[in-house]
Amino acid sequence: MNFKIAAIAGDGIGPEIVREARKVLDKIGKEYGHTFTYEELLMGGCSIDAYGEPLTDETLEKAKKCDSVLLGAVGGNVGQSSWYQLEPDKRPEAGLLKIRKGLELYANIRPAVLFDELSGACPLKPELTEGGFDFVVMRELTGGLYFGERKTVEENGVVKAIDTLTYDENEIRRIAKWGFDVAMKRNKKVCSVDKANVLDSSRLWRKVVREVAKDYPEVELSDMLVDNCAMQLVRDPKQFDVILTENMFGDILSDEASMVTGSIGMLASASLGAGSLGLYEPSHGSAPDIAGQDKANPIATILSAAMMLRYSFDLEEEADAVENAVKQVLKDGYRTVDIMSEGKTQVGTVQMGDLICENIVTVHSNKQKKATQEREEKS
């Protein structure tokens, strides 16, 4: 099959990690008979430098015409870069918000997985994480405080800033459905996180989520207040399967969730909407301090590409092949500097990408070998 991917490398380490993810996708294409073509687009600081704004309407239109979007990271060093002297809506991150809204990607899935091989990096006590944990944060991405009306005014000589948190029932219903659908493919548990003891928007959230739950009798639903959830994530992360929450809470909790895995350089993310087009990006930022030094861990972006294969292109086997190749490389003891530990072999960004590609061949040809063997045994 043929797929057209918008490749938005972005800033900082973005170009290096997207290059490695493309390398892996091309390897998958070669092994499994698909063609991936890329439309390279600018977003973030590099777009400000080229066009004076972080995402132009033309670029957004081009992205809409692709089958999916692969993103590295946007943004620079806040203290140093001139991008941050611009008005807030002209800064690199505004491009990210504009593309999420413009492509109507309202469902953001961020997995938090404790990889067996990297369990030593987890900052929690071993007794809390024994047996590992594997949950996802399902974050609403195009509503709430991020997109509500905001202004700064002066009243009687006092400056006042206003941000508005709005949700309507339809916005809540569609993300809740995503949460339950994903739970059905996992361990069938949804924990809906809100602040219903204070906020009206949260009370509506809770009500609508409970309504949606009626269509999913197999899924166990619980409600949790966001402050308690922040605590439970470090007290007992194993209790979670799908954490379903609104935009701002999801922003905060997903960072916390990634930290407890101890390996933010490994965590992928997918932003989806009603159609098959999605935006796939690592959960980490653009790390300008290590850009261009072959130090960045490309695995989160490569695993994001795997999510693209699964969620946008429906290529389940190919997605598995990428994920298995990553696991194998870790098993073989290869590490980028961020996940390095004693006795392991340290590699750079490029070599990590190469190793994952090599293992895709192995995984796939092992499968073929097995299938041939089974056929021969039968005949």
User: What residues line the site for ligand IPM (CB under 6 A)?
Assistant: 93, 96, 251
- Phi-psi label, residue 73: left if phi above 0, alpha if psi -120 to 50, beta otherwise: beta
Scanning residues 216 to 255, which ones bind Mg ion (CB under 5 A)?
251
Compare residues 96 and 103 and give the one whose CB is closer to ligand IPM.
Answer: 96
Residue 168 falls in the annotated catalytic set: no
Give the separation between CA 164 and CA 317, rounded to whole angstroms.
43
67, 194, 241, 251: the catalytic one is 251
List CB contacts of 341: < 8 A, sequence separation 6 or more. Answer: 120, 121, 335
Q: Show the tokens assigned to 356.
A: 């994952």
Instruction: Compare residues 140 and 318 and give the one whose CB is closer to ligand IPM.
Output: 140
Phi/psi of residue 162, nearest 5 degrees: -125, 125
Query: Could you give the CA distance from residue 196 to residue 192 in angstroms, rounded to a whole number?
Result: 11
Instruction: State which residue has the least CB distance to ligand IPM.
Output: 93
Alpha carbons 282 and 73: distance in angstroms, whole number: 7
> Taking CB within 5 to 8 Å according to partner kind, which of ligand IPM, Mg ion, none is near residue 300?
none
CA 144 to chain centre: 19
Q: Of residues 255, 320, 338, 354, which has the active-site annotation?
A: 255
Closer Cβ to Mg ion, 93 or 134, answer by number: 93
The whole-angstrom separation of Cα 314 and Cα 268 is 17
Could you tell me how many residues of this chain bind Mg ion (CB under 5 A)? 1
Q: Are 225 and 196 in contact (CB under 8 A)?
A: yes
Helix (H) or strand (E) holding 10: strand 2-10
Complex with ligand IPM: residue 96 or 109, whichever CB lies closer: 96
221/242 with CB nearer ligand IPM: 242
Q: Closest CB to ligand IPM among 129 and 263?
A: 263
CB of 355 to ligand IPM, least distance (A): 28
- Supply 178's token pair: 């995503």
**318 binds Mg ion per the rule CB under 5 A:** no
In the complex, least distance from residue 8 CB atom to ligand IPM, rounded to whole angstroms: 14
116: annotated active-site residue = no
CA distance 352 to 331: 13
CB of 176 to Mg ion, least distance (A): 21
What's the closest the beta carbon of residue 251 comes to ligand IPM, in angstroms? 4
Q: How far is the CB of 255 from Mg ion (least distance, A)?
A: 5
User: Is 251 in the active site?
Assistant: yes
227 CB neighbour count, 10 Å cutoff: 12
For residue 20, the partner it binds in Mg ion, ligand IPM, none, with Cβ less than 5 to 8 A by kind, is none
CA-based max dimension of the chain: 89
* Alpha carbons 111 and 322: distance in angstroms, whole number: 16
Residue of 49, 168, 200, 227 marked catalytic: 227
Report the b/e string of 162-184 with b at 16+ CB within 10 A: eeebebeeebbebbbebbbebbe
Candidate list 195, 216, 241, 280, residue with the active-site label: 195
Catalytic one of 23, 27, 67, 146: 146
Q: Is 227 a catalytic residue?
A: yes
Q: Which helix (H) or strand (E) holds 257?
A: helix 247-261
Of Mg ion, ligand IPM, none, which one sits near residue 93, judging by CB under 5 to 8 A according to partner kind? Answer: ligand IPM
For this structure, is 11 an active site residue? Answer: no
Tell the residue number behind the tokens 């605590």, with chain if given: 231
Residue 115 CB, nearest approach to Mg ion (Å) = 21
Q: Taking the complex as a whole, how short is the minimal distance between the CB of residue 191 and Mg ion, in angstroms?
A: 19
CB of 67 or CB of 140, closer to ligand IPM: 140
- Which residues is 79 bridged to in the sheet? none
Which residues contact Mg ion by CB under 5 A? 251
Q: Active-site residue numbers?
A: 146, 195, 227, 251, 255
